[in-house]
Amino acid sequence: MAKTMAVNAGSSSLKFQLLEMPAETVIAKGVIERIGLGDSIFTIKYGDGEKYEVVEDIDNHEQGIEKLLQALLDLEIVANFDEITGVGHRVVAGGEWFNHSVVVTEEVLEKIDRLAAYAPLHNPANAMGIRVFQKLLPNAISVAVFDTAFHQTMPNVNYLYSLPYQYYTRYGARKYGAHGTSHRYVANRAADLLGKPLVDLKLITLHLGAGASITAIKDGKSFDTSMGFTPLAGITMATRSGDVDPSLIYYIQEHENLSNDEMLAILNGKSGLLGVSTLSADMRDLLDVQETNEHAKLAIDIFVNRVVKYIGQYVAEMGGVDALVFTAGIGENSVPLRKMILDKLGYFGIKLNEENNNKRGNEIEISTADSTVKAFMIPTNEELMIARDVEAAKNENN
Ligand code: ADP
């Protein structure tokens, strides 16, 4: 049976899932962490709850991917590499060049390299992952799945900043958004659960993880989204600031004597929940101490406030909403956060079903039967979307 590898290569990590397609069965998944940082951790989960883990130095992505492929053979997860007929890669920035997933050619790779300016931490690592897999599995079809592609349907009133227009034409200065694969997946699942075609629905999808974004989906398409030119914009995140008045940034730089790179590192890595709480970037830690630690409580309150504000904007922009969908680390797991958010939205007809909200596990409706706007918790599955896009590319190529 044909197998497809879904790959998410970061600067020092590589996550993967191997799926049997078109059956969509996950046969192995794992991660290589701390690539190039010493004591790399390589984990694979497979079979009937089996786990393989090694800690050793893995100096670069090529070495990591070689070890990964060798482990698949040694653990008898695959009998030979020809079984892996497709590899799909998450690529963060696709700019205006890519509004859907594509088979990787030299020209596509060159564009991904050029788009590194829009995602300097991500695109180079994504491109490296593609090159190494192409070298080691030359017979497998290679497909790039862009985080930004889903948002290419936004109308210009929503993606343009109120800046001199020539910055858009010269530099592509506009909103691109992110997490598109996740928003696309949960929106489709919500439509299935509602038993209605996605094109007939107005949805707001809340991808609340360490990185977080909110998307308004209308006519089956991304209509607006909270992330911007880069994934720094929008709501408060674990360590990213989200929206800030740009003049304030220059003011702080001047007073703290910070270079542009230092300031960007603070906005990306020392702000958000971590920055406000001065305690932790992990929502769980903050929830644990919110009763006694006012900074933790303030960070949570700001997070909830930003989420609620964006929902309000999107309801106004779309002229209503049929359902909200919670996903990603916080959205899928945090019962209190979902409650805090939904309790503020009673004014437009949403009523929380406390019992369902307390349940763990799979997809569930968390609004009451008489709620005029529905709410769901839907675990995201970007890997499945990637594998499906590889499958579609294979079928087109045949
Ligand atoms: P990313 O993919 O952006 O790294 P994830 O979607 O994996 O992020 O989400 C990770 C975040 O989810 C962590 O910052 C963690 O605080 C949060 N998280 C996970 N479980 C819970 C929980 N039970 N309650 C609150 N937050 C949680």
pLDDT digits over 283-313, tens only? 999 999 999 999 999 999 999 999 999 999 9
Q: Is the peptide bond before 155 cis (omega within 30 degrees of 0)?
A: no
Residue 174 counted as an annotated binding residue: no
Residue 268 counted as an annotated binding residue: no
Instruction: Find the helix or strand (DSSP H, E) in which 78 lies.
Output: none
Residue 333 counted as an annotated binding residue: yes
CA of 114 from ligand 1 middle (Å) equals: 31
Instruction: Identify the DSSP state of 143.
Output: E
CA of 210 from ligand 1 middle (Å) equals: 6
Q: What is the pLDDT of residue 1?
A: 74
Say which residues have a Cβ less than 8 Å from residue 375's Cβ, sequence separation at least 6.
323, 324, 325, 326, 338, 342, 350, 352, 365, 366, 367
The residue whose CA has the least distance to atom 15 of ligand 1 is 282
Mutate to test the pocket of ligand 1, among 185, 237, 330 (most ligand atoms within 8 A of CB): 330
Residue 328 alpha carbon, nearest atom of ligand 1: 6
Distance CA 68, CA 77 (A): 11
Q: Which residues are catalytic?
A: 147
Residue with tokens 């790179």: 261
Q: What is the pLDDT of residue 241?
A: 97
CA of 364 from ligand 1 middle (Å) equals: 18
CA of 238 from ligand 1 middle (Å) equals: 9
Q: What is the pLDDT of residue 96?
A: 97
CA of 333 from ligand 1 middle (Å) equals: 8
Mutate to test the pocket of ligand 1, among 13, 121, 282, 339 (most ligand atoms within 8 A of CB): 282
Q: What is the pLDDT of residue 111?
A: 97
Assigned architecture for domain 195-382? 2-Layer Sandwich (3.30)
Q: Do 2-146 and 195-382 show the same overall fold? A: yes
Provide the 10 A C-beta neighbour count for residue 362. 9
Mutate to test the pocket of ligand 1, among 284, 303, 381 (most ligand atoms within 8 A of CB): 284
Residue 287 alpha carbon, nearest atom of ligand 1: 25
Q: What is the pLDDT of residue 386?
A: 97
Which residues of the chain fall below pLDDT 70? none
Residues with CB under 6 Å of ligand 1 are 209-211, 238, 282-284, 287, 328-330, 333-334
* CB burial of residue 31 (10 Å; 0-12, 13-18, 19+): middle
One of 3.40.50.300, 3.90.1150.10, 3.30.420.40, 3.20.20.60 is the CATH number of 2-146, namely 3.30.420.40
Instruction: Find the helix or strand (DSSP H, E) in which 128 lies.
Output: helix 123-136
Q: What is the pLDDT of residue 11?
A: 79
CA distances from 274 to 99, 284, 291 (A): 34, 12, 17
Radius of gyration of the chain (CA): 21
Tokens of 87: 């590899």
Residue 56 counted as an annotated binding residue: no
Q: What is the pLDDT of residue 65?
A: 93
| Domain boundaries of the chain, sorted by first residue | 2-146, 195-382
Residue 306 counted as an annotated binding residue: no
Q: What is the pLDDT of residue 361?
A: 76
